Amino acid sequence: MKKTLLFLLFSVSSLSSHAQTKSTGVVNLMIGMTAKLDLNSATSVATLTLTGPSDRWFALQFGSFSEGQGMEAGQDVVYFNGTTLVDAVHNGVGSAPSADTNNWTVASNTVASGTRTIVANRAFNTSSSGDYTFVYANGTIDFAYARMSSASFSLAYHGGGNRGYVIGAPITTALGVGEFEAAKIALFPNPANNAFSIKSNDEIKSVIVYDTNGKQVAKFANQKELLDISSLHTGLYFVEIQNSEDQISIEKLLKK
């Protein structure tokens, strides 16, 4: 069965060839934790893909703030409680967040190799007092994150080194379906054995390969050269290609 990433990437882009989407791309928060935020202007829906350890709570705060302001009262936060993604609001440092009206709809919740991947959607503006309003025109967003230091879903002090910030994560425009075709991006050979190359009319800035659970498995800086995937297992992968204008295209790659 085709899994999370396949559904996310192609169900959003298939809404309309003219739909505009913006994305942070996959943001590495800390070892074992990533976040990816996609904004769709046609539907005014935000899609969050959040990964973390499968055996403990992990949390993500988003909004506009400065480093050091990650747990101030009133800030919007979501966390995994062992069952689902909880929509909450911070009560200040040293106090557990309070659950808010849950406006996030979890589309999938999967575990692979000890990593949980949650994909959830909500409207840009929910009119709930504790929810941050996503603004499509914004060029950046701030993240604060934390996870429990040991296997536990009880909200408690996370322990030193288990929290941090990503301030000013860029939100860039992703290409629509028609623009993907116009860019004439192609992977070859595809299926591939141990390596593949990229054909593109544009200068390529970065290439990241994800498995079907959304986990990054390879990253390349040598844009149009032969890209080695000999260490990957046989199966379906997704290749995120970013050009020099920070536009992103997602291509399917089959590893033989």
> pTM of the prediction?
0.64
CA distance 140 to 148: 27
Q: What is the pLDDT of residue 222?
A: 59
Biggest alpha carbon distance in the chain? 54
Q: What is the pLDDT of residue 44?
A: 92
Task: Give me the DSSP letters along 19-79.
Answer: --EEE---EEEETTEEEEEEEETTTTEEEEEEEEETTS-EEEEEES--TT-TT-TT-EEEE
Count Cβ atoms below 10 Å from residue 108 Cβ, excluding itself: 16
Q: What is the pLDDT of residue 5?
A: 43
CA angle 205, 144, 20 (to 5 degrees): 45
Helix (H, G, I), strand (E, B) or coil at 179: helix
255 contact partners, CB below 8 Å, separation of at least 6: 191, 192, 193, 229, 232, 233, 234, 235, 236, 237
Q: What is the pLDDT of residue 152?
A: 96
Q: For residues 143-171, b (16+ Cβ closer than 10 Å) or e, as one string?
A: bbbbbbeeeeeebeebeeebbebbbebeb
pLDDT digits (tens, 9 = 90+) for 15-67: 333 347 899 999 999 988 999 999 988 889 999 999 999 999 999 998 888 87
Q: What is the pLDDT of residue 3?
A: 39
Q: What stretches in the chain show pLDDT beneath 50?
A: 1-19, 175-182
Long-range contacts of 216-224 (CB under 8 A, 24+ apart): 216/26, 216/28, 216/34, 223/198, 224/197, 224/198, 224/200
Query: Residue holding tokens 């070892």?
Result: 31
Q: CA Rg, the chain, in Å?
A: 18
Q: What is the pLDDT of residue 184?
A: 65
